[in-house]
Amino acid sequence: MLLKLENINKSFLNPNGNIKRDVLKDLNLELDKAEIISITGPSGSGKTTLLNLIALFDKADNGNIVFNSENISDYSENQINNYRNRKIGFVFQQHNLLPQLSLLENILLPALISDESKEVYQERAEKLMKFWGVDNLRNQKPSELSGGECQRAAIIRALINNPDLLLADEPTGALDEENAAELMNLIHKINKELDLAIILVTHDLFIAEKCDKIYNLKNGKLSIK
């Protein structure tokens, strides 16, 4: 078992601070190593909130998040930074590449805050760029790349630290059908080759059905489809 969420609750107050909206309610989830699951659900159901809690970008009101048999719910700031830098990768719907940097420079950004050598990162980047078919675009800037190429670069950046878990929030949402299918094929391939666990949020059932399990998030709880 890689990840376990136990009775997670999360609510938000409205801008006036007088009305509480319950988003996640006693939510439970288990994820095995090398498993790939999708999470679907209506807009506003809390899918991104769930990923943010797993990534420790936000904190649950109560409940436990257990990663590799360790409760990470009350991690210190240093522990959180180490967890994000070493254990997980995060991919957003928008690639969030820095426009002034080349594809390779964007990929190597995590190296700036790592204690590993730049040579190690360079070697990983070379292998991943070749795997994802963008090694010939290393010096191109985001404005010179297609949407699919930018998203591949964003995924490589998320993988550069050799994480155990990849969190992907609508990674194909901005892509056309052909590029989305191609990206998913590569995600599946790297899932198998690296024994990488993946949680993928998507509104596209065609994409969801390519995962090992499909969960639906509704009324604050997950149910398997």
Q: Are 134 and 152 in contact (CB under 8 A)?
A: yes
Q: For the chain, list residues with pLDDT below 70.
A: 19
Q: What was the pLDDT predicted at 94? A: 81
Residues contacting 95, CB < 8 A, separation 6+? 142, 147, 150, 151, 153, 154
Q: What was the pLDDT predicted at 111? A: 84
Q: Helix or strand or coil: residue 95? A: coil
**Of 216, 221, 223, 210, the residue nearest 39 (C-alpha):** 216
Extents of the domains making up the chain: 3-212
pTM: 0.92
CATH code for 3-212?
3.40.50.300
Q: What was the pLDDT predicted at 193? A: 85
Percent of the residues in the chain that have a pLDDT greater than 90, as a whole number: 69
